[in-house]
Amino acid sequence: MTVLAGMPASDDRRLGEDLVIDVTVPDRDPLIGFRTSAYVLPSVGSNGVPLTTVNVEEARLTLLRINDRNLVQQVRDGYMLRLFTSYEQNQVVWDLGEEVWTGSVDIASVPNRRVVTSVPVQEIIPEIEPGVYVLTAEASALSLAYWEERATQWLIVSDIGLTTYAGADGLTVAARSLDSARPIAGLALTLYARNNEALGSAVTADDGIARFAPGLMRGEAGLAPTLLTAPGTD
């Protein structure tokens, strides 16, 4: 970089001659992450989960599953949608679910540019089971301490899309296909409380709508409504 002669200073003095300065712009620090904390992966026609990286040539991945019996605990304790440390990954393996797969994916890295790589989750899951999947990623070239957070993607693999409306008349649930956007009839739903007790069940009608009584939404403490589940999704 050349600063030209005559460049004024704050005290009105001027540079007497050109000044040449060598400036080095370092590469960007390696970056790895997912676009959002939660992701619904359609069971049909999906291209995978997008992983965004900068200056990373290989990513180390771990896919976990938290079974449906432990989801209420995750919601109640505030763990849902959080970034995972190595300790929390191990907690899932030992107490809450299982490790489904671990491996790596090559990145077509371009120096200092963001690169998006599709992780083919459906190809590495041998069989979709009830529950929520958690995909963690870290750069293979870096070594993270066990307390450091990994890039974390919470995801559900399903064709069922649920929308809920809570009001004075209770809880209304609308179920639609993520593939066709058409209402899903005959879908069994269960509403759970904070203490993991089933508060009630309902089945969607031909219009994809199901309703839960107002009293079920008025519970407090352990009986407060916390989680709604349906077959194949949560």
pLDDT of residue 144: 87
Contacts of 111 by beta carbon, 8 Å cutoff, 6+ apart: 27, 55
CA trace torsion 75, 173, 132, 222 (10° rounding): 30
pLDDT of residue 234: 43
Q: Which H helix or E strand runs over 90?
A: helix 86-91
Q: How far is 215 from 160, CA to CA, in rounded Å?
A: 26
pTM for the whole structure: 0.75
Neighbouring-strand partners of residue 198: 192
* Cα-based angle 136, 141, 143 (whole degrees, multiple of 5): 65
Q: 143 in helix, strand or coil? A: coil
What are phi and psi for residue 152, nearest 5 degrees?
-130, 130
The rounded average pLDDT for each run of 10 residues, N- to C-terminus, in the chain (234 residues) is: 92 92 92 83 73 95 84 74 86 85 94 93 77 90 88 87 92 91 93 91 95 92 90 52
pLDDT of residue 44: 62
Tell me the residue type at 192.
Y
Pairing of strands 151-158, 38-42: parallel
Sheet holding 209-212, edge to edge: 160-167, 170-177, 209-212
pLDDT of residue 35: 84
Q: Find the radius of gyration of the CA atoms of the chain.
A: 25
What's the half-sphere exposure (Cβ side, CA atoms, 13 Å) at 67?
Answer: 8
Which single residue is written with the structure tokens 């409306």? 165
pLDDT of residue 103: 93
Q: Given 3-state DSSP classes, what are the helix, strand and coil percentages for the chain, each rounded to the nearest 5?
A: 15, 45, 45
DSSP label at residue 223: G
pLDDT of residue 93: 85
pLDDT of residue 161: 87
pLDDT of residue 90: 87
